[in-house]
């Protein structure tokens, strides 16, 4: 059993990590670090864990843990690692934006379906963003085959948990309920990592990804639609996607698609349709699992040589 630590233990992604790791066959939780909740049982914050664990939050860390998950606010992971040093054998999996872009660091971008070999030999992983995961899984097969010839147009809706636990004007129930809005049109931060992956897989990519993010009046999940010009037939596209994802345990092509199929799972479902010369790809994920904590555990499994789906055989909350 490997020993796992969680930094920033009071947030949504930490709660999902605790839930997964408590039932993981190859890992055990060594500590859950929180400067705001030390000494309190984790179940007082993550109340779905009542009766599941006696673990308490701590304000100390084990520098020799086998793997540490950083569930900190964007910009805080770099600061935390500058102030706290772990052993040479400790693997770091960061769920923030801090290390997703290539640069002066040793973090590998952790999108398993396209960078598995790099992840398996990595020491540290930058876990992709939730929108970036849903959109990348929809469009990257065409990049891998070098077949993107024009712009992608993407419209995606996320649930309220995508904004984290801190309240804001747009996360209060009275604002979110029976409401819908777009934000950061054409300028969402996840576009950078999507573009980086596109260029890595198709170096001559020079088109645009036109992305409109939306806030939905539900708690969790992402529903994304993406379309581009495509010369092949629908059968050609389905064959391509099936081949690209033939060894991806969480990616499935379907004919009917909606959020309830994936919420509470690490799955990404994709539906392909052809309209004239355009290929439409619909992608759905759980933003807290495949878009965050589930993918982080998937990356952990790859680093340590465990089955890729270990601890992640989760049932959707369908009813």
Over residues 232-247, the pLDDT tens digits come to 999 999 999 999 999 9
Under the banding of pLDDT at 50, 70 and 90, the label for residue 251 is very high
Q: Where does residue 169 fall: left (phi above 0), alpha (psi -120 to 50 degrees), or beta otherwise?
A: alpha
Give yes or no for residue 163 having a pLDDT over 70.
Answer: no
pLDDT at site 168: 64
pLDDT of residue 2: 98
The pLDDT of residue 89 is 96
Q: Which pLDDT does position 173 carry in this prediction?
A: 73
- Which of 17, 18, 130, 226 is labelled catalytic? 130
pLDDT at residue 179, as a whole number: 87
CA-wise closest residue to 7 among 37, 44, 40, 27? 37
Lowest-confidence region among 162-176, 186-200, 281-295: 162-176
Single pTM value for the model = 0.95
Region 63-85 average pLDDT? 95
- CA 227, CA 279: separation in Å to the nearest integer? 5
Mean pLDDT of 2-6: 98
N-to-C CA span, the chain: 35
The DSSP output letter for 130 is: H
Mean pLDDT within 164-188: 74
β-strands 91-94, 67-70: how paired?
A: parallel
The answer on pLDDT for 166 being more than 60 is no
Q: How far apart are CA 289 and CA 42, in angstroms?
A: 19
Distance, in Å, from the CA atom of 190 to the CA atom of 156, rounded to the nearest integer, reads 12
pLDDT by residue (tens digit) across 12-46?
999 999 999 999 999 999 999 999 899 999 999 99
Q: Which of 13-17, 41-45, 169-173, 305-309 has the lowest mean pLDDT?
A: 169-173
pLDDT attached to residue 184: 79
Average pLDDT over residues 103-115: 96
What's the mean pLDDT in 222-232?
Answer: 97
CA distances from 249 to 163, 180, 219, 253, 268 (A): 28, 33, 25, 12, 10
> Of 1-5, 149-153, 190-194, 232-236, which range is least confident?
190-194
CA 138 from centre of chain:
14
Percent of the chain at pLDDT exceeding 90 = 87
Check residue 160 and give its pLDDT. Answer: 82
How many other CB atoms sit within 10 Å of the CB of residue 80? Answer: 18
- CB atoms < 10 A from the CB of 291, how many? 28
Task: Find out whether 269 and 254 touch, Cβ atoms under 8 Å.
Answer: yes
Mind giving me the DSSP string for 128-195?
Answer: PPHHHHHHHHHHHHHHHTT---S-EEEEEEE-GGGG-SS--TTTSHHHHTT--EE-STTT-THHHHHH
Give the confidence band of 164 by pLDDT, cuts at 50, 70, 90: low
pLDDT given at position 212: 95
Decide if 130 is catalytic.
yes
Tell me whether residue 319 is exposed, middle or buried, using C-beta atoms within 10 angstroms of its C-beta: 0 to 12, 13 to 18, 19 or more: exposed
Q: How confident is the model at residue 177 (pLDDT cuts 50, 70, 90)?
A: confident
- Euclidean distance between CA atoms 208 and 139, whole angstroms: 12
């Amino acid at each position: 059993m490997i020993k796992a630590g969680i930094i920033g233990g009071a947030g949504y992604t930490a709660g999902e990590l605790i839930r997964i790791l408590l039932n993981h066959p190859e890992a055990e939780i060594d500590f859950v670090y929180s400067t705001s909740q030390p000494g309190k049982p984790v179940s007082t914050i993550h109340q779905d864990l009542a009766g599941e664990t006696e673990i308490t939050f701590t304000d100390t860390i084990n520098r020799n843990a086998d793997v540490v998950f950083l569930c900190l606010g964007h910009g805080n992971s770099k600061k935390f690692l500058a102030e706290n040093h772990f052993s040479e054998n400790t693997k770091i999996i960061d769920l923030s934006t801090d290390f997703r872009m290539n640069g002066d660091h040793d973090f590998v971008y952790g999108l398993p379906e396209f960078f598995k070999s790099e992840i398996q030999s990595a020491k540290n992983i930058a876990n992709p963003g939730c929108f970036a995961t849903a959109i990348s899984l929809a469009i990257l097969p065409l990049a891998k085959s070098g077949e993107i010839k024009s712009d992608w147009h993407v419209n995606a809706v996320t649930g309220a948990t995508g904004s984290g636990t801190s309240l804001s004007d747009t996360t209060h129930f009275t604002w979110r309920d029976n409401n819908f809005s777009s934000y950061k049109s054409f300028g969402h931060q996840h576009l950078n990592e999507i573009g980086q992956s596109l260029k890595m897989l198709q170096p001559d990519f020079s088109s645009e990804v036109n992305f409109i993010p939306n806030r939905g009046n539900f708690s969790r999940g992402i529903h994304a639609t993406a379309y581009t010009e495509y010369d092949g037939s629908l059968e050609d596209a389905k064959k391509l996607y099936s081949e690209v994802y033939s060894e991806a345990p969480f990616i499935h092509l379907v004919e009917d698609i909606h959020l309830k199929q994936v919420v509470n799972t690490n799955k990404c479902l994709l539906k392909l349709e052809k309209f004239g010369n355009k290929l439409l790809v619909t992608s759905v994920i759980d933003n807290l699992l495949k878009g965050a904590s589930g993918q982080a555990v998937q990356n952990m499994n790859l680093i340590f040589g465990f089955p890729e789906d270990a601890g992640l055989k989760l049932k959707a909350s369908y009813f």
